[in-house]
Amino acid sequence: MVIVSGSDTKFVPGVLILIYSAWLNNPDAQFYVIDAGISAKGRDRIDAFCRRHGIRCGLLKADPALLARLPVAIHWSQAVYARLLIPELLPQHSRAIYIDSDAVVTTSLSELWDLDLGDNLVAGCLDGMMDPAFLAGVGMRADEYVNSGVIVMDLDRWRAERVSEQAIAILDARPDLGYPDQTALNLVTRGRAKLLDRRFNFLAREITRFEKMTPSIVHYAGPDKPWANKRCPLSEIFEAYRIASGADIPEPPRGWEFKTFRRTVMGLLSLRPKYWRRVAFGRHYRAAFVDPHIAMVKSKAAALMR
């Protein structure tokens, strides 16, 4: 099994816990991190962390000249393009599971690794959160637009059909494209993307938008990251792996803005359904997923230390 992520310096805390969580649940996997702007200190942290745990992980350097010509914005960095570089950087592999560095793996990923892709280029979960006007503007439908935070890639087909080159050409031609890496990838693989169950890319901040399930990959997409804010949804899962891993990551603060607290209290008092739905879903996930999973993480980590 080959699991790949990408990172810049800012996302090193996330990539450390992604690797550890994926390894704890998939100990035979080979890991790669694509360096898309990681400092020397950050690279040393990743290398030392993996050696300490006996995790097989290679650091691959992205072409800085290529990254420099691709569009960036306040909400994303050049590291988002790491997935497009995988076929070239890993010529010895025919398949890879790509996972964003702001995610945590909670189960075996053998189901993804053994997935029959047929003649599809990629497999991923529907995003489900995109503005209909945006989708109409790029000529895509909600039932075909995939979130690229977790994808299974047929690298042989990508190389043969020059998928990455096509996506980069779109980015060059349309530098103002919204969600650029994801949208370009969707445009190129349209009609040849196998859909995965939502549990393989469970968007933590949208916890009330989906039916209740047991996530296999918790994806902390959006501005709040669990290494920076303990109050982001399902941050307890990240925290369990952070503690178990012994990673040199400070405990995050319990950030809470007064206006958010006031809005929540007023919403509950006024019996607004969305606020009570958050409470109900929070209680469900605490009992059915968070607490049992934290106990499992502690047990697995303790067993490794014996």
List, as one string, the DSSP characters of 173-224. H-TT-SSHHHHHHHHHHTT-EEEPPGGGGEEGGGTTTS-----SEEE--SS-
The per-residue pLDDT for 155 is 98
Closest among 227, 200, 218 to 285, alpha carbons compared: 218
Query: Residue 80 has what DSSP assignment?
Result: G
Domain extent listing, the chain: 2-204
Q: 264 falls in which pLDDT band (50, 70, 90)?
A: low
Average per-residue pLDDT in the chain?
A: 91
The per-residue pLDDT for 301 is 87
The per-residue pLDDT for 149 is 96
Determine the Cα–Cα distance for residues 256 and 215; give it in Å rounded to an integer. Answer: 25
Each residue's pLDDT tens digit, 167-192: 999 999 998 888 999 999 999 999 99
Q: Reply yes or no on whether the pLDDT at 240 is more than 90.
A: yes
Radius of gyration over every alpha carbon of the chain, rounded to an integer in angstroms: 19
Q: Give me the mean pLDDT over the 267-290 stretch.
A: 73
The per-residue pLDDT for 271 is 55
Q: Which of 76-90, 108-122, 190-204, 263-277 has the lowest mean pLDDT?
A: 263-277
Tell me which fold the domain 2-204 belongs to: Spore Coat Polysaccharide Biosynthesis Protein SpsA; Chain A (3.90.550)
The per-residue pLDDT for 253 is 81
Q: Give me the mean pLDDT over the 138-161 stretch.
A: 97
Q: Reply yes or no on whether the pLDDT at 278 is more than 70.
A: yes
Each residue's pLDDT tens digit, 29-87: 999 999 999 999 999 999 999 999 999 999 999 999 988 888 876 667 788 899 999 99
pTM for the whole structure:
0.93
Determine the Cα–Cα distance for residues 29 and 18; give it in Å rounded to an integer. Answer: 13
Each residue's pLDDT tens digit, 156-166: 999 999 999 99
The per-residue pLDDT for 267 is 57
